[in-house]
Amino acid sequence: MHQVGEICELGLFYGRISAKTRPILLTQMHSNSRSMSKLLKVVRIGILCAMSAGPLHAAHAQSDDYILGQGLNAGSFNIAGYATVEAHAKKGQDAGLLIDDLSLFVKGSVNRVINPFLEVEMAEADLWFEGSPPLKNIDPRVDIERLYNDFILDDHVTFRVGKILSPVGEWNSIHAGPLVWTTTRPLTSYRNYPEFVTGVSAIAEGLGAQELRVETYWQPGSDLDGPDPSNVAYLFHNTYGLHAELPLGLTDKIGLSLQGADVKGTREKQFLVGLNGRFTLDRLEIETEMTWTALKHPLVVRKHKTEYAGYVQGAFAISDKLYLIGRGEFFRDRNFDRTSRNFLIGLNYRPKAPISWKLEYVEQSGPNLGISSGPIASFNILF
């Protein structure tokens, strides 16, 4: 039996994934102030939790130094975050500069049953876009990305309750700008399944000699602080699934995802099967995610009853800090006859592990499902 479940993690985070086409906007003062008050409320809760639980957690006091990329250890708490500032000139859209993500998380561990984590993000805050004065239409979206508590059952098994990132593939679970190679997020990693799940999950890690990791989850009903319908292709509820991951090296792995969900607003059910992998061959890192989704309801009319999507991405180390990135993706959506394709070529400069500068060009063909052609640049930092 464990005496201490020490690592105290309560998280506040602002941040989210880039590359979803943002509908052109509406500056509504009341929605803005509502977002800000929601943000302040969440920050206040986080700080109160941190202050109240701090004294309980002397056992895992950490260094009080700040470490770039790993945040500030304040007693038993860790406060960290990340930011992405993006400039783009996408075809069919006004060129713009925006804070795509500003995320903050605070995490901590009080004992084996109190291990909260809270992540909040502020996303898509327009600093400037073509034809408009700077800072006139900042209208950030504020979301709770993760809010959960871990119950540590033993060395290998954790029971989690709350809102989590849906474990399909890998990009969705580790989506922070500084931790991914490109500013543009592949459609495969978010378009046709819920990015978040609110419910219960069980995580088993380090299984067998191969250190297998298996996560199962179930969301009865709807998601906590669910996505704005204008920002997602589909809304889901009653989600359940499994993700298994077999490590092949430090970050190399293969993964299998299975997920069932109901499509909100219809009586349609979908079932997704996904495969993901990362393989390092000397200076080349290859990453891939593929999904196949079956849709089921006799009365819902779709162009296709099955959906296919996938991408293959290569990151070649030109030097220790500079990487050449290439990616190709296809997506056959349930509602479109033709397959959407996009190809990306770019550079990623990482002067230090938690900082990256990205420059990329995307060429898109077929129906536009959220990725537009054009150049995109970004600065990303994990702090």
Partner 1 sequence: MRIFLTFWVFFTLAFADSAFARTVYVIANPSIQVSKLTQDELEKIYLLRQPYWPDGRAIVPVNREASSDLREFFSNLVLKQSMRSLSNYWDQMHFRGKSPPVVQGSNESVIAFVRKIPGAIGYVEELANLDGVKVMAELP
Site residues (vs partner 1, CB under 8 A):
1-7, 9, 11, 59-63, 65, 67, 69-71, 73, 78, 80, 107, 109, 117, 150, 155, 173-174, 176, 178-179, 205-206, 211, 250-251, 320, 352-354, 382
18 vs 109, which CB is nearer to partner 1? 109
What minimum distance in Å lies between the beta carbon of 368 and partner 1? 30
Q: Choose between 54 and 96: whose C-beta lies nearer to partner 1.
A: 54
Question: What's the rounded Cα separation, in Å, for the pair 291 and 331?
Answer: 9
CA distances in angstroms from 103 to 11, 43, 111, 164, 325, listed in the order given: 10, 11, 26, 15, 25
5: phi then psi, degrees, rounded to nearest 5: -115, 85
Location of structure tokens 């990205």: 358
Q: Min. distance of Cβ 181 from partner 1 in angstroms?
A: 11
Quick one: 78 or 192, whose CB is closer to partner 1? 78
Q: How far apart are CA 42 and CA 125, in angstroms?
A: 18
User: By C-alpha distance, which of 354, 374, 359 is closest to 176?
Assistant: 354
Query: What is the spatial distance between Cα 181 and Cα 372, in angstroms, rounded to a whole number?
Result: 18
Residues 6+ apart with CB under 8 A from 137: 25, 27, 126, 129
Q: Which is nearer to partner 1, 192 or 276 (CB)?
A: 276
C-beta of 136: minimal distance to partner 1 in Å?
Answer: 33
Residue 231 C-beta: closest distance to partner 1, Å: 22
Closest CA to 168 of 267, 88, 273, 83: 273
CB-wise, 21 or 149, nearer to partner 1?
149
Between 80 and 376, whose beta carbon lies closer to partner 1?
80
How many whole angstroms separate alpha carbon 122 and alpha carbon 104?
Answer: 9
Query: Tokens 């795509």 identify what position?
Result: 100
Shortest distance, CB of residue 102 to partner 1, whole angstroms? 15
Q: Which CB atom, from 57 or from 90, has the smaller least distance to partner 1? A: 57
Structure tokens at 250: 């430090």
What is the closest distance, in whole angstroms, from the C-beta atom of residue 117 to partner 1 in the complex? 5
CB of 97 to partner 1, least distance (A): 25
